[in-house]
Structure 1
Amino acid sequence: MGTREDMYGLFASVNKINLTDDQAGQSAEEGTHKKNISTSYDLQARMSRKGILWNWGYHDEQNAKEISTLIPGFLDYDTDGYSEELYFAALREVPFELGDYADKFVLEVGCGLGEGLNFLSRVVDAERMVGLDLSDEAVKRANASLGRTGLSYVQGDAENLPFEDGEVDVLVNIESAHNYPSLEKFLEEVSRVLKPGGYFTHVDLYTTQRHAFLKELQDKELGLEWLLDRDISAQVQAAIHGRLSPEGSFHKALREQRVGAIQRHMAKRVGPEAVGGSFAGYTDSGSTKLLKRMGVLPSQFMPPVDSYRLYVAKKI
């Protein structure tokens, strides 16, 4: 984002979407919100180093062991593995064997820089894999660095997917839907583009209000049969603690960055919020509290997350 006011606007609109009881009333401001989201992720796409995955992560020893068996040595370079574990946990709940994707179309909505879908392409050999994101810069970078035959990325809106009816076998959505003004429009699009018998695997952070609204939508006739509702908060918090430990990837990255002492000091105190610190019980430092009172930082980066959940649904 270009200005502090733009960033504050983004935080405010994300909080409003996830804390309001009037979920249907979001459409009036959705244009501004989507512009803020797109602009923000455009900037992150230009600034992020290669290999960055935009999620809070997941950790379970058995889950990690299975990945290491499928991809020997994958933890040896450039990753702590937590973000990949989240993708793997989501895909493993789809009732297809990993070897049964040869004729499948896998779509990820909200793919960011594309690293998560690229990881999944190493786990399953699908006929076609496409990542979609609202950020044009993220999509351009993903295609330039990761795109190849069978794996590509497109710019698009989660609430108006640029795909035909009944085209997709598996739709993946990882820690993205909390940014969507209309969760209902998104689920309608999921149902529209899935083939009958196709699967939707979805993980996201949920406030009390947003979760209650999802429950209402699950009772509507959207053409989806909900098969799994799992609270994975403990596994997500384990990943956050791993990243924020003194030897974890968060502090390792700070040590390796060529930035000044002031910037490093600020990032060390403010950065944990970006990787889910408050959800895992981390509290603001004294300097962060002071910066919030002074208005240098927004009073609330993220809405108060009640749970982190994994859902699987089947197109009827």
Structure 2
Amino acid sequence: MTNGNAATGLRDLNAGIPEADQLKGAVSAVYEDVASWSRTGDFWHWGMHCPKLLEELTDLCPNFNAGVSDGFSEQLYVQTLRGLPHSANDFKTLNVLEVGCGMGEGLNFLARLVDPARAVGLDISAAAIRRANALLARGDRLTYVEGDAERLPFGDQEFDLVINVESSHNHPDVERFFPEVARVLEPGGHFSLIDVFDPRSSARFGRLQQEIADFEWIHERDVTGNVKSAIRRHMAPGSFCREEYTRKRMPLRARIIGGIGGAHYAGADFIGHRDALSRVLELARIRPGFVGEYESYRHHLAACLTVGGSPSQSAKE
């Protein structure tokens, strides 16, 4: 996949292309390219910064990010476990699926942290999955699979926990995605979604929460401020993100798309950062412009219900 295709993919995403297959192709094009130059520890997600969560994570796993990341993406993944009725030991018996795993770094971290019986990452990008399996897979305990979020290639009731991190906004048909998650979850299992929302996607999500009877939504947290704090730290001079970006060997076009210090990749648009170079590049159509209206970043947690529409005993407990 060429950098030209990645730029085209970003441009298509920002233009709000209507066709589902085109949208999936655009997402895949972006990750096909990023997988060719991304190193371990960088560009998982925008991440979040929460001092209390960071303190808890550091107590649990000292030096968890020493020399390999800035720690913000790890905090975002730990947030997906907030509100779950599980102790640390419970995870050793659980099967976990991440839908939209990208290059697999986040799931790899989570699997090492809580040690589930089985962890599976799924992504639509073949290149991202190849990279994840080559660098991160650990036999049957951690594997990565290419596939579509709207047609999950798994059996019924195969997982106890499904997570979806900064990904659902790229699913063209969330109405198909949610029932698929419910299908692969055990009754009483949990669905943890954390993502960025614009007014339209927020309204659609609220409607689906009411209309789809497969879930009981049990926890919600707005982490917009925490995510913006992480982005500002990503962009600060001397940050891990900027230093890693500077050291990368990557094609010129990919560097241009990333902006000064990789700000475009790090989430600069979400905090309203628009430097002069960005405006020039976008006016010249060298780099795709950003026209999203993202307003919030939220974590939602749901318990999967039985067919009869009542929470299972484990969900009630």
> Are 2:9 and 2:29, in contact at CA under 8 Å, matched by a contact in 1?
no
CA–CA distance in structure 2, aligned partners of residues 3 and 119 of structure 1: 28
Alignment correspondent of 2:242: 251
Match of 1:151 among 117, 124, 142: 142
1:41-60 map, 5 Å? 41-60=31-50
TM-score, normalised to structure 1, is 0.89
Alignment correspondent of 1:275: 266
Match of 1:136 among 105, 123, 126: 126
CA–CA distance in structure 1, aligned partners of residues 251 and 29 of structure 2: 26
Are residues 1:307 and 2:286 paired? no
> Are 1:59 and 1:236, in contact at CA under 8 Å, matched by a contact in 2?
yes
Change (3 A) 1:107 1:9: closer
How far 1:274 moved relative to its partner? Answer: 1.8
Match of 2:91 among 91, 98, 101: 101
Three-state SS of the structure 2 residue aligned to 1:58 is: coil
1:147-296 map, 5 Å? 147-149=137-139, 150-257=141-248, 267-269=258-260, 271-282=262-273, 284-296=274-286
> Are 1:188 and 1:222, in contact at CA under 8 Å, matched by a contact in 2?
no
CA–CA distance in structure 2, aligned partners of residues 108 and 261 of structure 1: 32
Alignment correspondent of 1:23: none
CA–CA distance in structure 2, aligned partners of residues 3 and 77 of structure 1: 28
Three-state SS of the structure 2 residue aligned to 1:219 is: helix
CA–CA distance in structure 1, aligned partners of residues 201 and 253 of structure 2: 37
Three-state SS of the structure 2 residue aligned to 1:312 is: strand
Letter in structure 1 aligned against 2:106 = G
Alignment correspondent of 1:7: 7
Change (3 A) 1:260 1:152: closer
CA–CA distance in structure 2, aligned partners of residues 76 and 100 of structure 1: 27
What's the CA shift string for 1:35-74, capped at 9, x where partnerless? 2222321221122112334210011111111111222212
CA–CA distance in structure 2, aligned partners of residues 163 and 37 of structure 1: 22
Query: Runs of 5+ in structure 2 lacking a partner?
Result: 306-317
Are residues 1:63 and 2:34 paired? no
Alignment correspondent of 1:22: none
CA–CA distance in structure 1, aligned partners of residues 275 and 112 of structure 2: 40
How far 1:133 moved relative to its partner? Answer: 0.7
> Are 1:206 and 1:307, in contact at CA under 8 Å, matched by a contact in 2?
yes
> Are 1:90 and 1:201, in contact at CA under 8 Å, matched by a contact in 2?
yes
Change (3 A) 1:261 1:111: closer
Alignment correspondent of 1:33: 23
Alignment correspondent of 2:110: 120
Change (3 A) 1:6 1:272: closer
> Are 2:70 and 2:241, in contact at CA under 8 Å, matched by a contact in 1?
no
> Are 1:203 and 1:311, in contact at CA under 8 Å, matched by a contact in 2?
yes
CA–CA distance in structure 2, aligned partners of residues 279 and 169 of structure 1: 33
> Are 2:99 and 2:164, in contact at CA under 8 Å, matched by a contact in 1?
yes
State the identity as a percent: 38
CA–CA distance in structure 2, aligned partners of residues 217 and 262 of structure 1: 39
> Are 2:99 and 2:149, in contact at CA under 8 Å, matched by a contact in 1?
yes
Letter in structure 2 aligned against 1:151 = L
Letter in structure 1 aligned against 2:92 = A
Say what the alpha-carbon RMSD is for the aligned residues. 2.3
How far 1:112 moved relative to its partner? Answer: 0.9
CA–CA distance in structure 2, aligned partners of residues 243 and 229 of structure 1: 25
Are residues 1:16 and 2:16 paired? yes
> Are 2:162 and 2:191, in contact at CA under 8 Å, matched by a contact in 1?
yes
Three-state SS of the structure 1 residue aligned to 2:219 is: strand
TM-score, normalised to structure 2, is 0.89
> Are 2:3 and 2:251, in contact at CA under 8 Å, matched by a contact in 1?
no
CA–CA distance in structure 2, aligned partners of residues 232 and 84 of structure 1: 14
> Are 1:201 and 1:310, in contact at CA under 8 Å, matched by a contact in 2?
yes
CA–CA distance in structure 1, aligned partners of residues 121 and 5 of structure 2: 30
CA–CA distance in structure 2, aligned partners of residues 86 and 280 of structure 1: 17
Letter in structure 2 aligned against 1:36 = A
Three-state SS of the structure 2 residue aligned to 1:86 is: helix
CA–CA distance in structure 2, aligned partners of residues 259 and 31 of structure 1: 28
Change (3 A) 1:274 1:226: same
